[in-house]
Amino acid sequence: MAHLEAMEQMRAVSLTVFRHRRLSAKPLVIVPLTMAGEAGAPLAAMAGTSRTAPKLLVVAQPRNRDQRFAFAADLGRIVMNYIDSHRLHRREVASRVEGPTSRYTDAPQILVPNPGGIKALIDLGRMCRYRKAEGPYPVAPVVPQLGMWLTFLAETAEQAGTSMLLPVTGMLAEHWATGQSTMEDQNLASIMGWIDPPEGLSVAQAIADAENPAVCPPAGPATSPEFDKTYLAPAIRRFDDTYARGDIAATAAAEADLRELIGEQIKPTWRLMWAAVSLLRAVPEAPRTAARFERDLASFTAYSDYQDGGGLPQRKHDGAIGAARRLSRLERAQADFEADMAFDDPLALADRRSMGEAFAGVVTGAEPDRVVTTAKNRRVPRPRITVTTYDPVRLAPGVTLISPSMPNSHKALIIASVPDGASTQILVEVTGGMGRGVVPLKGSVPVLGQHMDYLPDPGWRPTPVFPEPDSMPWTHSSPADDDPDTNPEDNAAEEWGNAD
């Protein structure tokens, strides 16, 4: 619906009332650029925690291994300084799973322009995490560290609702609907054109400009082929020539030219990134974001402790079990995040209601004193209510429900759903959140005439049980399950020639 309105009005409209992602007070913005055609070869990056103090890192010859790792070391220092600045304070917490423990009080947040930016960091992480500070191809110690942290952050980014590594286009698209496709929304200049076109431009002009690399350089990670051809390739060639001649002054000049050239390409994106951050900051944060952030803090602390204990780099692949476990975790996170959003956000809830995945209505019947005897011979309150809704409900009896209209612990169960003309009568049994006694606590049972919102409880599914690695049938194990460090051949294989 929102997308239709955006199309009609030619401007972005809100899709949600709230911003559902935490926005750090001090995010680290990174705009990575890579070289076309080369496997994950970084070309440049602009990084920093303040709009006015960007740091530009440039690899003058991306095919040169030493220069790549000098770049990785520079970026590594920026990222590690940033991460370390979140590892100063801990706080005691009581965790349900681990018992009393302590957590850092803040977590990092790295923002990149688009999903491609995340991919570039994944590649960089993969390239760096098995490197060693000693041995035949030594790198700065910060390089493998950067590799492991980027890999960790990228893994968290796969999980819905996390906030430690995010594409800004994704954050914008979660809150604003545009009149274009998801793919086009991944163009930062374009989605920003819909939301907040540059002074004096209409949305139509802004989005046309966004696709013209001569006006809006792409937000990366790839640079525009036209730019590569006309400017970048000659500039790199000049650098190579002067370098080959051993002319130090000319090399420095050629490098400075390259920096300037790339700086001009990257700066518009840098400014847009911060403009996007201010727009997002102006949107109120959803209440449940805080609880999700607690989980980020827990996983950040856990990984940080693992690293402090001399943690090994992540393996190349999950094994079969690991992959299944991961998939199940991601699905669950997705369902939880969607439920959180609907719980917090009336617009998100309205969407779910329109699709029949949630409902709202007035309590038109109530049996507040209903008590049943359980199999264990305990008498428990099981009040029933009837909600009359005009929503196109598609939830079947047996579905457990949660409700933003009641205290958080409220749980209920659909007993029956009977269509009645334009409306539907839904018989709901309250099953939780009423205290321990036979008489429900005050305010824990909906009353006649009360307006109720209900949506399915994403937590009803049991956690799947996976076999432990050693009990795994042999058909599902593969050599890829080997720890990378026991596989030294791969490390040696990754030598880049400087001569290509």
Partner 1 sequence: MKAAVDERLDGLRGSAPRLTYSARSLAALENNPRCTLRAVLDASGSDKAAIAAHAGFPTPFGQSPFAIARGNVFEALVKANGCAELIRVLRETLKLTLPEVAYQDLNDVGGNASPEVRHSRTRQLLVNTALGKSPGTLYDHPMLRLQVGGHTVFLEPDLVAFRIEDRFHVVEIKSFPIIDGRADAAQVKAATTQASAYVIALRAMLADAGIGPDAVSDTMLLVAPKDFTNSPTAAFVDARKQVATLTRQLTRIEHIGDLVSLLPEDLTFDLAIDKSGRALRPAEELAEALDQVPALYRPDCLSHCEMAFFCRSRARACASLDVLGSAVREQLGGIDTATMALGLARGELTPDADQAEMAAALRHAARLRTEVLGQADGAGATA
Q: Given the rule CB under 8 A, which residues bind partner 1?
A: 1-5, 7-8, 14, 17-18, 35-41, 123, 126-127, 179-184, 211, 213, 222-226, 228-229, 232-233, 282-284, 316-317, 346-347, 350-351, 353-354, 390-392, 480, 490, 493-497, 500
Instruction: Give the nearest distance from C-beta 337 to partner 1 in angstroms.
Output: 18
Instruction: Give the nearest distance from C-beta 80 to partner 1 in angstroms.
Output: 22
Instruction: Give the nearest distance from C-beta 33 to partner 1 in angstroms.
Output: 12
Tell the burial category of 53 from Cβ atoms under 10 Å away from its Cβ (0-12, 13-18, 19+): exposed
Instruction: Count other C-beta atoms under 10 Å from residue 295's C-beta.
Output: 17
Q: Which amino acid is at 420?
A: D
Instruction: Count other C-beta atoms under 10 Å from residue 338's C-beta.
Output: 20
Instruction: Give the nearest distance from C-beta 389 to partner 1 in angstroms.
Output: 11
CB-wise, 81 or 212, nearer to partner 1?
A: 212
Cβ atoms of residues 16 and 350 within 8 Å = no
Q: Which residues contact 338 (CB under 8 A, 6 or more apart)?
A: 160, 348, 352, 458
Tell the burial category of 126 from Cβ atoms under 10 Å away from its Cβ (0-12, 13-18, 19+): middle
CB-wise, 101 or 425, nearer to partner 1?
A: 425
117 Cα distance to chain centroid: 12
CB-wise, 233 or 371, nearer to partner 1?
A: 233
Instruction: Give the nearest distance from C-beta 19 to partner 1 in angstroms.
Output: 10
What are the tokens at 414? Answer: 């659909």
Instruction: Give the nearest distance from C-beta 85 to partner 1 in angstroms.
Output: 30
CB-wise, 81 or 354, nearer to partner 1?
A: 354
First vs last C-alpha separation in the chain: 53
> Considering only CA atoms, which of 207, 440, 459 is closest in space to residue 331?
459
Tell the burial category of 401 from Cβ atoms under 10 Å away from its Cβ (0-12, 13-18, 19+): buried
CB-wise, 392 or 464, nearer to partner 1?
A: 392
CB-wise, 18 or 337, nearer to partner 1?
A: 18
Instruction: Give the nearest distance from C-beta 387 to partner 1 in angstroms.
Output: 16
Instruction: Give the nearest distance from C-beta 103 to partner 1 in angstroms.
Output: 31
CB-wise, 342 or 414, nearer to partner 1?
A: 342
Distance CA(47)–CA(139), nearest Å, equals: 21
Q: What are the DSSP calls for 49-79, one per residue? A: SSTT--EEEE-SSTT-HHHHHHHHHHHHHHH
CB-wise, 45 or 358, nearer to partner 1?
A: 358
